[in-house]
Each structure stands twice: as structure tokens, then as C-alpha cells.
Amino acid sequence: IADLIEKMYGSHYSPAQVSNISKQMIPKVEAYHKRKLSDRFFYVYLDATYLPLCRETFEREAVYIAIGIRPNGHKEVIDYCIAPSENVEVWTEMLQNMRSRG
């Protein structure tokens, strides 16, 4: 993460600084996944892609994403989640969660 931040912003951060930034982001990410979805969408696109990871258990994990197109044409990432593989159970849970939020 430190290497990515350095490439993006030109500043180096220590492992402790990256850890502190990550800790500060957790509540924001949780709020994003729980926010009310009040807008209507003309279309909702669902897709998943696999990204390489540096973990002991999996080499790649699926990133599920739902993108909505608003009536004015603007795109919005409605939600996303990460799971070891793509399957119907994860899609079902993600869609039910989105439905419960509006």
C-alpha cells in the first residue's frame, strides 16, 4: 500500500502510517456499505473480476461490483464486495443487502 500511495501522491509513508490510515478508513468503508440507497437507477450492471492478492490462503479473489446508471446518465458504484470465488450465494447476499437499503 505504501508503494501505491507513493506512486499516486509522491509521498512515502511508513508501515505504521499506512496502518493508521487504514484504521481511519474502516468506519468510512463500513458506512458506505450500510448507506441508504434512495436514488432510482435505470440500469444496474453486475460483474466480478479476479484480482491477484498477496495472502496465504488464496492467490486471487473475486471483486463483485454493482454499478447503477441514474436517470441523468451518471454512473455510481452502488456496492462492491470481495470473496474467494464468484458464486450465486455471494451475488444473492449482495443483492438482498442492496434491496434492504433501498
pLDDT at 58: 61
pLDDT at 91: 92
Read off the pTM: 0.73
Mean pLDDT for each 10-residue chunk of the chain (102 residues)?
A: 76 82 89 86 90 72 91 91 88 92 87
Q: Are residues 42 and 81 in the same domain?
A: yes
Q: Are residues 45 and 71 in the same domain?
A: yes
pLDDT at 46: 93
pLDDT at 55: 65
What are residue 47's phi and psi, to 5 degrees?
-155, 165
Q: Are residues 60 and 22 in the same domain?
A: no
Q: Are residues 26 and 55 in the same domain?
A: no
Alpha-carbon gap, residue 98 to 15, rounded angstroms: 34
